[in-house]
Structure 1
Amino acid sequence: MEDHGLHSSSSKQMPSQRIDSEGPYRLLSCSSKGDKAGVIQELKKGVDTNLADYDKRTALHLASCEGCTEIVELLLKKGADVNSTDRYGRTPLSDARSFGHVDICRILEAHGGIDPVGLDSQAPYYEIDHTEVNMTDRILIGEGAYGEVYLVRWRGTEVAAKTIRSSIASNQTVKENFLKELALWQKLRHPNIVQFLGVLKHPDRLIFITEYLQNGSLYDILKRKGRLDTLSAVAYALDIARNVLQDEAGRLKVTDFGLSKIVQEKDAHGYRMTGGTGSYRYMAPEVFRRESYGKSVDVFSFALIVHEMFQGGPSNKGEDPEKLADKRAYEDSRPSVSSHVYPEPIKLLLRECWHKNPDRRPSFEDIILQLEIIQERLQQKALASCCSCVVL
């Protein structure tokens, strides 16, 4: 199985309908980023102020934990439930206290906010007793560089159980680093982040439980139906961070924080790049050359995956991934974007993102701004075309 590190699936709706269905969740994203204009825009559309994500976390939860005072005040003014409770029993005040946002605590308390978890608000929730998950009836749904992924049931809900290979989990240093990453992941609550639910306490295996995203992988959809239409590809690209999954609502989600870093440590333990499972195919030249590198390596990988969404898969699928990475590193080889399926702004963006000079690559903030402009123009063009058809 080729490990793209990205997972998604198609929607049977028309592109414009699919994008509209994503709209409500933008309220959560804007609230977490302190984007007041974006929040106002979503509320004007009629989005429910108390819309919640998989973890039952609302926009007020996200704004409170991120310290977005203006957003907290705005949401409360618009009728947000000050004591909405997430699946962990935490209210917005619990989050504000956990992250030390004193001013927001005062605002929430003035509106009747309570903190039911109190001093335990920062206690870890990530250990799950192995008796709570029946691994006997597991269904294999994936396999990659780190181990197998199974569909299981936990507390009556379908969840994903990701097992870590014994060769990795048996190393104490790697295991400790891995658990530190998971402890960080456990604190993250965002509509575009796959929800980490806990580590399964198992005597001889390392297993962690996450939200199950039933629609499968981007690799699967491209293999099944070919290239994505332009609107869908641009909408998906807006959701991409590093590794993403797609839930049943058609949104893309980030997952597997730190796994590649932990497994790929080139130290005394002898771990090496997992090129055979796909890492080489999406590797930035400076990484392959073993040079120092920064965040722009993710931008390079992002560009290759966006290219595949328009192309319908890797343009050089039959080529050995390591040889492919070598060509990109030493011959400046890049995929072709000469096809008419790539809009000109996308061609320009891809070329910027996989530029040989890492300092010339745009940041993800810049990428998002460009993609939002591209998306808006495509939607306007689609709407104009639709109106024209109605008139005819």
Structure 2
Amino acid sequence: MRTLLDCNCEILVFRVTWNSIFNHKWSTFVQQVACQNLWDGPYRLLFCSSKGDKDGVMQELGKGVDTNLADYDKRTALHLASCEGCTEIVVLLLERGAHVNFVDRWGRTPLSDARSFDHQDICKILESHGGIDPMGLDSQASCCEIDSTEVDMNEATLIGEGAYGEIYLVKWRGTEVAAKTIRSSIASNKIVKDNFLKELALWQKLRHPNIVQFLGVLKQTDRLIFLTEYLRNGSLYDILRKKGRLDSLTAVAYALDIARGMNYLHQHKPHAIIHRDLTPRNVLQNEAGRLKVTDFGLSKITQGKDVGYKMTGGTGSYRYMAPEVYRRESYGKSVDVFSFALIVHEVNLGHIMFQGGPSNRGEDPEKLADKRAYEDSRPYLPSIVYPEPIKKLLQDCWHKNPDRRPTFEEIILYLENIQDILSIKACCSCVVL
């Protein structure tokens, strides 16, 4: 049985024989963004630090990457290692000159993150290096409550509608943030509301460059409103609708952003977080061009093994729904992998599949889900458009057997290999020009 890990080895050979495999249409597809260092810098250092990958961290530091370089949210490698409980990485970063009190955009230091997740050993290490926690007790709060007087909802601007209610642009402490209102059917039911608040309390603890940051819940007597960071560029759905076909390097970068965010959720400890409603509308873009996954209201925490929940067929979006969900069967993390494959298909890793909208956009979503669940229907992948590694990725990710689908960690490695190939090809094209 061949897996994506097997294919990663094959890609090394594919890298050498690029020109013999790719036709002229594919080769012209990469030239628009040739030789741009879109994925260099601190990002891989952050990723390896959050995974506890010491070899990866050493490799990036060996390249001369600044230990204190941060992402758009001013999150450093030390923040992520402290958050994830990666003690060895924390020690390594501090030895290499990491700033122990670097403050992210929410005013949190690495010690704030370590305390939030009760990583006592890391707290002691950071404190011994002069680490402080400006958040104090707030960093350990179950769910941050924000006084309603801090946000004037009368001045709010309606910017959209989400799965649970309207979304507004508001100002909080001088910063533009998104205020998401919860429908009365949810807010008025105490049990449902309590469960929803538990989901938000979980979301509050998540810290990753590809996850939308939850900020707090407004104290309101008549309705439930929670605040998240505001991502000015909108959703992936909006981006695709406006831009249509994307170039290959951008498509791969988008796929990697989503995969990294989802891998973080799936590797969450002590229980994995399953999104269950991964769609282009639930992927947002910040001003730096990075994609972030949002809205975990439909997600659940797996108990024990990666199976056991049953979802109603109406959960999530039919268009991106895994077959086992539509059939109301037990499910696991691989339902998100299936949805991811359909998003990647739309993001246009191929040549022509997205021209103003998905190729199946006119088809009824429920009928589409039914055909995928009972007829094993999948989007068409013509060989002349999709190179074999891309076809392999999509086919594995939307495999009818959930156990045969790869993990997001495997997907990331696979996509990184493809990204390397595209970058090499782009640079070679520049030289030729």
**Which interval holds the TM-score relative to the shorter structure?**
0.7 to 0.9
Q: Which residue of structure 2 aligns with residue 357 of structure 1?
A: 401
Residue among 343, 348, 352 paired with 2:392: 348
The one-character-per-residue Cα deviations of 1:74-99 (angstroms, maximum 9, x if unpaired) are 21122111233445654333433443
TM-score, normalised by the number of residues in structure 1? 0.86
SS in 1 for 2:331: coil
Distance 1:286 1:237 in 2: 23
Q: Which residue of structure 2 aligns with residue 300 of structure 1?
A: 338
In the TM superposition, what is the alpha-carbon distance from 1:250 to its structure 2 partner? 1.0
Distance 1:305 1:342 in 2: 15
TM-score, normalised by the number of residues in structure 2? 0.78
Q: Which residue of structure 1 aligns with residue 180 of structure 2?
A: 162
Note closer, same or farther for the CA distance 1:128–1:53 as it changes in structure 2 (3 Å cut).
Answer: farther
Residue among 223, 227, 249 paired with 2:245: 227
Distance 1:291 1:266 in 2: 6
SS in 2 for 1:273: coil
SS in 1 for 2:36: helix
The one-character-per-residue Cα deviations of 1:296-350 (angstroms, maximum 9, x if unpaired) are 1111111111001112232111111111111111111111111644232111111
Note closer, same or farther for the CA distance 1:164–1:17 as it changes in structure 2 (3 Å cut).
Answer: farther
User: Is the counterpart of residue 258 in structure 1 residue 297 in structure 2?
Assistant: yes
Structure 1 moving runs of 4+ over 4 Å: 53-56, 86-90, 115-121
Q: Which residue of structure 1 aligns with residue 373 of structure 2?
A: 329
Residue among 352, 369, 373 paired with 2:417: 373
Note closer, same or farther for the CA distance 1:152–1:97 as it changes in structure 2 (3 Å cut).
Answer: closer
In the TM superposition, what is the alpha-carbon distance from 1:203 to its structure 2 partner? 1.8
User: Is the counterpart of residue 203 in structure 1 residue 221 in structure 2?
Assistant: yes
1:1-392 mapped onto 2 (5 Å cutoff): 14=33, 16-17=35-36, 19-20=38-39, 23-53=41-71, 56-86=74-104, 90-115=108-133, 121-124=139-142, 126-240=144-258, 241=262, 242=278, 243-259=282-298, 273=314, 279-310=317-348, 311-312=353-354, 313-338=357-382, 340-389=384-433
In the TM superposition, what is the alpha-carbon distance from 1:206 to its structure 2 partner? 1.2
In the TM superposition, what is the alpha-carbon distance from 1:43 to its structure 2 partner? 3.3
SS in 2 for 1:19: coil
Amino acid at match of 1:294: G
Note closer, same or farther for the CA distance 1:294–1:228 as it changes in structure 2 (3 Å cut).
Answer: same
Note closer, same or farther for the CA distance 1:120–1:136 as it changes in structure 2 (3 Å cut).
Answer: closer
Note closer, same or farther for the CA distance 1:339–1:90 as it changes in structure 2 (3 Å cut).
Answer: same
The one-character-per-residue Cα deviations of 1:10-46 (angstroms, maximum 9, x if unpaired) are xxx93653623x6423332221111223323433454
Distance 1:35 1:372 in 2: 16
Structure 1 unpaired stretches of 5+: 1-12
Note closer, same or farther for the CA distance 1:132–1:38 as it changes in structure 2 (3 Å cut).
Answer: same
Q: Is the 8 A contact 2:156 2:169 kept in 1?
A: yes
Which stretch of structure 1 is more off in the superposition, 83-92 or 233-242?
83-92
SS in 2 for 1:17: coil
Amino acid at match of 2:99: D
In the TM superposition, what is the alpha-carbon distance from 1:383 to its structure 2 partner? 1.1
Distance 1:34 1:375 in 2: 23
The one-character-per-residue Cα deviations of 1:195-232 (angstroms, maximum 9, x if unpaired) are 11111112211111000000112111221121211111
Which stretch of structure 1 is more off in the superposition, 313-322 or 76-85?
76-85
Q: Is the 8 A contact 2:310 2:329 kept in 1?
A: no
Which stretch of structure 1 is more off in the superposition, 189-198 or 84-93?
84-93
SS in 2 for 1:231: helix
Note closer, same or farther for the CA distance 1:231–1:89 as it changes in structure 2 (3 Å cut).
Answer: closer
Q: Is the 8 A contact 1:145 1:274 kept in 2?
A: no
Distance 1:141 1:248 in 2: 17
Count of residue pairs the alignment pairs up: 368
In the TM superposition, what is the alpha-carbon distance from 1:72 to its structure 2 partner? 1.2
Q: Is the 8 A contact 1:125 1:198 kept in 2?
A: yes
Distance 1:230 1:213 in 2: 24
Note closer, same or farther for the CA distance 1:172–1:53 as it changes in structure 2 (3 Å cut).
Answer: farther
Note closer, same or farther for the CA distance 1:339–1:141 as it changes in structure 2 (3 Å cut).
Answer: farther
Amino acid at match of 1:43: L
The one-character-per-residue Cα deviations of 1:166-187 (angstroms, maximum 9, x if unpaired) are 1222222211111001101111
Which stretch of structure 1 is more off in the superposition, 126-135 or 333-342?
333-342
In the TM superposition, what is the alpha-carbon distance from 1:355 to its structure 2 partner? 1.0
Distance 2:33 2:382 in 1: 27
Q: Is the 8 A contact 1:18 1:250 kept in 2?
A: no
SS in 2 for 1:160: strand
CA RMSD of aligned residues (A): 2.6
Q: Is the 8 A contact 1:192 1:253 kept in 2?
A: yes
Note closer, same or farther for the CA distance 1:109–1:131 as it changes in structure 2 (3 Å cut).
Answer: closer
Distance 1:55 1:249 in 2: 10
Amino acid at match of 1:331: E
In the TM superposition, what is the alpha-carbon distance from 1:192 to its structure 2 partner? 1.2
Amino acid at match of 2:233: N
Identical columns (%): 79
Distance 1:19 1:54 in 2: 14
SS in 1 for 2:42: helix
Q: Is the 8 A contact 1:15 1:232 kept in 2?
A: no
